[in-house]
Structure 1
């Protein structure tokens, strides 16, 4: 939970109000998926941000997998999952960029 959520929880309690749905029903990441989420956050820092965000490079993904000594099957899954996460992220980032302009 981040500090912003904690502030909202504290304010809701002080005011005697119910917690907002987005906090009360906040999804929890399965512990087996935390590696992929952290990897995506790490790899996001390697992308080029020009006029629009660019995809995370395949080489960066492979280097990350090698660093963590993933076997071939796990590497294939890792590449697939990171690329799928990246597609969704790029869609949101590019939509937000277009709405600002």
Structure 2
């Protein structure tokens, strides 16, 4: 299995997890006065994959609707990257079966 494709899928899973964590944190602080929500910024890596960083938003109000959409989106991204990882593992197993 290509280590690049493996690391790409794993970095996508990690980034989706960070997005979900930040959104849950924002939702938990929905009623906290003066709270500035966290936003996850993803940057593509030249060798493949992404790196996720967290920054504080300039706005001081958390939108429950936006956080719900972010949580759904992060969940779909997590599942999609997990499926890529599963497909890679299955393809590697099939290749080993053919060579054996």
TM over 0.5: no
Pick the structure with more helix per residue: 1
- Please state which band the TM-score falls in when normalised by the shorter chain: 0.3 to 0.5
- TM-score, normalisation: structure 2: 0.37
Which structure carries more strand by proportion?
2
TM score, norm. by length of structure 1? 0.37
